[in-house]
Amino acid sequence: MDTRGGGDVTLELLMSVFSRRIVDLQKLILIRGVPSATQGTELGEVDRALRTLDHYLSNIKAYLQREAEALPKAKALIELSIQQQQTLQQISTNLPARLPGNDCHVDLSGPRFCALSSPNKEKKGKGPPPRWYINVDELSSLSSYMRGRLTLEKLNSAIDEMATFALANARLLAAPRKKLGEDLAEKVLELRDIAALQSVKGKHFFLETDMRGPTLKLDNTGKAILTVFRHLGRINEFRTGRQRVLVLLKA
């Protein structure tokens, strides 16, 4: 069958043509007489071959029917996959550049700025310091005066640094006294007094004097960042003695 210039020939069209041919041949066999035993045998073989072909075509029709019924489901899955991809893309654009997960070894002489180590190492199952990141909507909700030149990246970097300050203090509190130098002994005693306060007990905290990070430090930008964190409920703040204490809050 020549299909040139006639467009694409579908499998269904071919099956339809074959079906018509089979019917025509079957009618021809019925109309023709059987003049001899030899001719009858030959026609019988043709009839069996046609029946076999008819059986194969029936199977093909059933297969195509199943595929046609499954096509709407496949299209729906594709649409859902596209929607999920768009959702994941939106989530990805709102994630901070740095996320916790890598091991970190903090020197007792001062904090290093890196991600948390395994939570299993924290004392009494306290868990790692919370990292409640700022999202785009929260940043947009701030007044232009409060937001100033602060960016989402800078704020979330400060969240990481606060967690690192708090982790360093938690490790100081958990360290054996024998491993503490004289220069840290006084600070540890002060941290223990603060950790015992009812408003701090069981929570991660750091001191204003710990703020020596690349982003969060004792300057105007650091103060502006803390103002935003207080406004968005990321920290609680109070004074005890000569120290200003900042407690990390969970989502």
Q: What is the DSSP string of the chain?
A: ---TTS-PPPHHHHHHHHHHHHHHHHHHHHHS---SHHHHHHHHHHHHHHHHHHHHHHHHHHHHHHHHHHHHHHHHHHHHHHHHHHHHHHHHHHS-S--S-S-----TTS--------GGGSGGG--SPP-----HHHHHHS-HHHHTT--HHHHHHHHHHHHHHHHHHHHHHHS-GGGS-HHHHHHHHHHHHHHTSTTTTTS-EEEGGG-BSSSSBSSHHHHHHHHHHHHTTSEEEEEETTEEEEEE---
Q: Which residue from 239, 25, 228 is spatially nearest to 141, judged by alpha carbons?
A: 228
Residues of the chain with pLDDT below 50 are 1-7, 101-125
Task: State the pLDDT at residue 221.
Answer: 95
User: How confident is the model at residue 122, as a pLDDT?
Assistant: 43
pLDDT attached to residue 120: 45
State the pLDDT at residue 5. Answer: 44
Residue type, 103: D
Please choose, from the candidates 120, 122, 219, the residue with its C-alpha nearest in 3D space to the C-alpha of residue 166: 122
| Residues 47-89 pLDDT 10s | 777 777 777 778 887 888 888 888 888 888 898 889 888 878 7
Q: Which residue shows structure tokens 């200003």?
A: 244
pLDDT at 111: 41
Angle, to 10 degrees, between the axis of helix 11-31 and the axis of helix 37-94?
170
User: Each residue of 190-220: b (16+ CB within 10 Å) or e?
Assistant: ebeebbeeeebeebbbbbbebbebebbeeee
In whole angstroms, give the CA distance from residue 1 to residue 55: 22
Q: What is d(CA 158, CA 39) in angstroms, rounded to the nearest whole number? A: 96
Query: Which residue is listed with tokens 């059987």?
Result: 34
